[in-house]
A = this chain, B = another copy of it.
């Protein structure tokens, strides 16, 4: 096993939780599991064993591999999987233009899953979603999502111009609190530091998130979270209880 490099055809999950997520959601791509000899105490291990048995995936105990790939020593399991391409489906989409931060990308994936957005288009150049840091930050949410890369926004747009398109921009024309839709839509977000350039004012209905003048802007994952929360309001409004019996 070698440390992942951008574009490698195999990557790996670091940690019990994302490894279980990979086994539950993309078992066909998981080639083997490597565990640390001290994993026996971990309460997620029986689940890993059960899933590996069902899907005929080998488990190796190999402390050195763990120590090499996860130098911080708080990792008990690694799931080695073949990277794969997925395609967007006809639900709502999120488009990220040139996202560069791995931690942000993980948080974004997790937040998308939290609001039932499962389609993510990424416009290159961009961070590699299969970097183990992204997978870890996503806590395995990656394995629930359809993620498709595009070389430029126009190639995405040609395929999905029948969606309602909402670019999120500091210069957006409409206050988000005045936007609501029940139709299939695409929410577009720019790069962490530069946002979307003015050309995006020409697509669909540009939207801004109002905030005080005391800050320059909200950070990307926060802006995205607020936007998904807002756009999915109708879907979540009638839930009476989240976790009453925990």
Interfacial residues, chain A to chain B (CB-CB below 8 A) = 107, 110-111, 113-116, 139, 141, 144, 170-172, 175, 177-178, 208-212, 214-215, 218-219, 221-222, 225-226, 229-230, 233, 236-244, 246
26 A-B contact pairs sorted by A residue (CB < 8 Å): A107-B222, A110-B215, A111-B222, A113-B214, A114-B212, A114-B214, A114-B218, A115-B212, A116-B212, A116-B214, A139-B215, A141-B214, A141-B215, A170-B242, A170-B243, A171-B246, A178-B237, A208-B241, A209-B242, A210-B242, A211-B236, A218-B225, A225-B226, A226-B226, A226-B229, A229-B230
What 13 new A-B contacts, CB under 8 Å, besides A139-B215, A141-B215?
A114-B214, A141-B214, A170-B242, A171-B244, A172-B242, A175-B238, A177-B236, A177-B237, A210-B242, A218-B225, A221-B222, A225-B225, A229-B230
Complex Cα distance, B225 from A107, in Å, reads 14
User: Interface of chain A, helix or strand or loop or mixed?
Assistant: loop
Q: How far is the CB of A88 from chain B (nearest CB, A)?
A: 18
Complex Cα distance, B30 from A175, in Å, reads 38
Query: Could you tell me if B243 and A115 are in contact, using CB atoms closer than 8 angstroms?
Result: no
Partner of A208, one of B113, B115, B211, B243: B243
A114 CB contacts on chain B under 8 angstroms: 211-212, 214-215, 218
Closest 10 CB pairs of A and B: A210-B236, A170-B243, A210-B239, A114-B211, A208-B242, A177-B237, A114-B215, A113-B214, A226-B229, A222-B225
